[in-house]
A = this chain, B = another copy of it.
Amino acid sequence: MLKRFLVPEEDQVLVSETNARAATQMIFEKMGLSTVDAECCADVLITSDLRGCESHGVSNMLRNYVRLYQEGRQNPTPNVKVLRESAVSATLDADQGLGIQVGPRAMEMAIEKAETTGIGAVAIQNCGHVGMLAYYPLMAIEHDMIGVCMVSAGGGLQVPTFGSEPIFGTHPIAWSAPADKMPPFVFDVATTQVAANKLMLTRRIGSQLEPGWITDLDGNPIMEPIDSPNYGGFFMLPFGGTRENGGHKGYGFAMIVDIMSGILSGNGPGFLAPPNAHSQFVMAIKIDAFVDVADFKSDLDKLLERLSTMKPAEGHDRVYYAGLLEHEETSIRREQGIPYHREVVDWFNQAATDLGLNYRLP
């Protein structure tokens, strides 16, 4: 993540992974989820926070989930239905369970299918928030598979190139592959210039948005640095931005996501889906079906090593690849704790009081 999204040091409170995980799980259990499901949801969020992807961790998301459960708008005990299934594929109705609750099960199904056939893919309709997409392909690489995930979550945010109205959400894509000695390739991006959650993070942190990241409500790109408006006060541009700069490519990938996730699952395109009925597509590809796993990993090592040891261009310290910094950040945070904003820690402790739970952070 860019520095502007990080919690300023003076506002940081370090919380151990164990304590953050336990508190999060207790909150989910209190909301009515089974212990197994609460543990799974906590794992998605805390994995996010450990990787430094706090936009999708407990800071922004947990209070939203609690509110949705308390308002009866999210199902803590979904009866997930298999709508269609083959040896390589399945389509699930998540029955309004959170994506972070149903999605990991779907990726497990995809992995089992890929273990048997070589490729497994599962499309999910009617789910809630899916969290950090990288979580799902990370599951696949543990099995020597390539993992893919795409999510269509509504349609009121992203305008198409040359368009005036928002048709897509941030429509993210994640893709991951295992290496041997090097940290794995783990790619996870919004098809907008920036994830919506990150815009909200800048509001907490007080940093500004870049030119060409968002548009006004007529679809006109805002070309000077500004403070982020709140939800409802902006639309987003596809990544790339202008047509000359490749914005149509971001737009095309947003289409791919809407097709693979929204339309293929039967959830419909994001702009027509009911509010809070998101969709997800996960796929696992068994490396061994194409090439020896050892050869694949050794070749990927060569690529990742070449990239991360390359002389950087003028003005830069280092060349990264997707997943490298997150891997390093995880080691640091496992040891030192997760640097939450003190406002987040206060929320946790207030929630303990409100919900009658016996934890206290940090």
Contacts and interface: CB of A to CB of B under 8 A. Distances in A.
B312 A164 contact: yes
Interface string A235-272: 00001110111101111110110111011111011011
How many monomers of this chain does the complex have? Answer: 2
A255 B322 contact: yes
Contacts of A162: 312-313, 316, 318-320
A239 B249 contact: yes
Nearest to A322: B252
A99 to B, nearest CB: 18
Given A118-B88, A310-B160, A310-B164, A300 B245 contact: no
A216 to B, nearest CB: 10
A88 B88 contact: yes
B313 A159 contact: yes
Interface stretch (A22-30, A49-57, A284-292, A353-361): A284-292
Interface in A308-352: 310-314, 316, 318-322
Contacts of A2: 243-244
A302 B270 CA distance: 11
Interface string A158-189: 01111111010000000101000000010101
A311 B167 CA distance: 12
B165 A311 contact: yes
Interface of A: 2, 84, 86-89, 91, 117-119, 121, 123, 146, 159-165, 167, 175, 177, 185, 187, 189, 193, 210, 212, 215, 218-220, 239-241, 243-246, 248-253, 255-256, 258-260, 262-266, 268-269, 271-272, 285, 287, 289-291, 295-296, 299-300, 302-303, 306-307, 310-314, 316, 318-322
